[in-house]
Structure 1
Amino acid sequence: MRRQYHFRQSDIGLLAWDVHRLVALSRELPVSHVPLSSIAELDEAYWWDAGSPPPTCRQVIEHMQLVEAADLQYPIILCPQGRVMDGMHRVAKALLQGKQEIAAVRLFELPSPDHVGVDPDDLCYDDV
């Protein structure tokens, strides 16, 4: 699978977490089911930020393909505050399927980011 990152803006620059590390850190956490209505990212710009050009139809279709391929057997990963750190394509798929909730694990502590102040284009996206 291709390396992926979770990004968040901060006062010290863009923070990036390696999703494969988040998966490893959350592997033993208890799985619960959270209501889709509690996932704030569903009503926010998520894949394309306000500063970037609007997505092309091709980019939207590519994301639709990722949503279609998402596997709901894997829980999403939430930070301690309940924000999605991994699994937004699964969230979208669950909503499209009319589900009311989704399996999730919640980190007890926010791990330190793997990268601070980086440009996403400078990160490694090789297959792991």
Structure 2
Amino acid sequence: MRTQFHFWPTAEGKGYDAWDVARLIELSLNLPVHDVPVDALTEVDTNYWSEPDPTVRWVVGHARLIRDVDTGYPIILRPDGCVMDGMHRVCRALLEDRPTIAARRFTVLPEPDHRNVALTDLP
């Protein structure tokens, strides 16, 4: 599988900071797991994947990911409550009308693996 990243726009708005999700998983393993209300996750009402003109094939690809996701892992949240890893698990919780989802939340934001990069510059 390709390396997955969590992206966040830089303060200057000229690029992104990026965190390797595998590293986030390792860093979060000892954090406590809490049930978080799905409706409290602000991303559920945003264009999270920023696809301006999704094709049917693109939507079906994400539907497969949502269908096949392993819901046994908690999602990972930033200190501000934004999702760093697990949006397909959030989607599955919404589809199943589950009011909460298991989550680990950083109290301090880890340093990104890449600073001020273009998305196309990542491996």
Instruction: Compute the TM-score of the two structures, normalised by the length of structure 2.
Output: 0.93
- Name 2:85's counterpart in structure 1: 86
**Residue aligning to 1:4:** 4
CA distance in 2: counterparts of 1:119 and 1:61, whole angstroms: 27
Q: Does 1:46 align with 2:45?
A: no
Find the counterpart in structure 2 of residue 102 from structure 1. 101
Distance 1:84 1:63 in 2: 17
Per-residue CA deviations over 1:57-101 (Å, capped at 9, x if unaligned) read 111111111111111110000011111000000000011011010
Q: Distance in 1 between matches of 2:96 and 2:36?
A: 16
Instruction: Structure 2 unaligned segments of length 5 or more: list them.
Output: none
Deviation of 1:21 after TM superposition, in Å, equals 0.6
CA RMSD between the two structures: 1.2
- Greater strand share, structure number: 2
Amino acid corresponding to residue 118 of structure 1 in structure 2: V
Give the structure 2 partner of residue 29 of structure 1.
31
Opposite residue 31 of structure 1, the aligned amino acid is V
Work out whether residues 15 and 117 of structure 1, in 8 Å CA contact, stay in contact via their aligned partners in 2.
Answer: yes
Which ranges of 4 or more aligned residues in structure 1 deviate by more than 6 Å? none
The runs of 5 or more residues in structure 1 that have no matched partner are none
Q: Take 1:8 and 1:55, find their aligned partners in 2: how far apart are those partners? A: 21
TM-score by length of 1: 0.89
Residue pairs, 1:106-117, within 5 angstroms: 106-117=105-116
Residue matched to 2:74: 75
Give the SS at the match of 1:8: strand
SS of equivalent residue, structure 1 residue 105: strand
Q: 2:18 matched to which residue of 1?
A: 16
Aligned residue identity for 2:108: E
